[in-house]
Amino acid sequence: MTSSAQDARHLATLTTERVDERYHDLDRRSTLEVLTALNDAEAQVPLAVRAVLPELALLVDATARRLRAGGRLVYVGAGTSGRLGVLDAAECPPTFHVAPETVTGVIAGGPAAVFASVEAAEDSAEAGAAEMTDLAVGAGDTVVGIAASGRTPFVLGAVRAARAAGALTAAISCNTGSPLAAQVDHPLEVEVGPEVIAGSTRLKAGSATKQLLNMLSTAVMVRNGKTYQNLMVDLTISNGKLRDRGERLLVRITGCSRQDAATALRAAGDRVPVAAVMLVHEVDPGRADDLLAAADGHLAQVIDPA
């Protein structure tokens, strides 16, 4: 049996590739019935994700420590998995005021694959390894391989190279006992079961992946002081809507007037945490920055320490 035939035979055994007979008549159902089937299937995803939360918590804490020391969080995937990683990475700088390189998404086929399918790109383990070399991945970084099947060569190559370079490694997959899970420090195997449309892992598997990526990056940022209470205080002020949000946050946190909030925010270089410290402690921006730095950026420790 050829290698490609063996791969195809193995692929057919994966849970994410199985046919769910409950939906054998999907193409004959009414539109509402199709939508109901999809919605019912999606309702299973949060329960599947909950099962891996203990492992995710370990990954969050380890990644937060690395980011505090100047490391990076790198997502690697192909197709839908890669696009979800790129999306989560792109949302971190405006949401949490981190540098673009702090959370990075790598997709097989390069940036063009975000918008158009480059399916064959996922078959090269060497290309995945080369991406890690190009990024100079090292011991301070966390690399998360994303593959619903748990067997994508591009992702496997990247994770192996990252681990050899000393990086912390993790995997998100939707099949148990996968080759990818066996290669990493923190395997997150989410059993979502067969898809409503067999093999279309942009459905339940995609939803599970997005949930885990959102939870990972968000919890890391919470651990690293990017929120105050449950408020997104360290946002990047880049338009009128976000300026309005920043001013409202300052009013809520400090009890100041809207005018004082606007003045302080501009004086603070549009950094809400700095402006909050200025208002609470009546200090200049430089002193506010120093106080935040001494608290590793945790606003609560500066303005309302226990």
Q: Do the Cβ atoms of 127 and 156 come closer than 8 Å?
A: no
At position 189, the amino acid (one-letter code) is E
Sign of the dihedral through C-alpha 89, 93, 98, 99:
positive
Contacts for 116 with CB less than 8 Å, ≥ 6 apart: none
In angstroms, how far is CA 191 from the centroid of its own chain?
19
Q: How far apart are CA 110 and CA 188, in angstroms?
A: 25
Lateral strand order in the sheet of 168-173: 103-107, 73-77, 142-146, 168-173, 186-189
Task: Label the pairing between strands 73-77 and 142-146.
Answer: parallel
Active site members = 91, 122
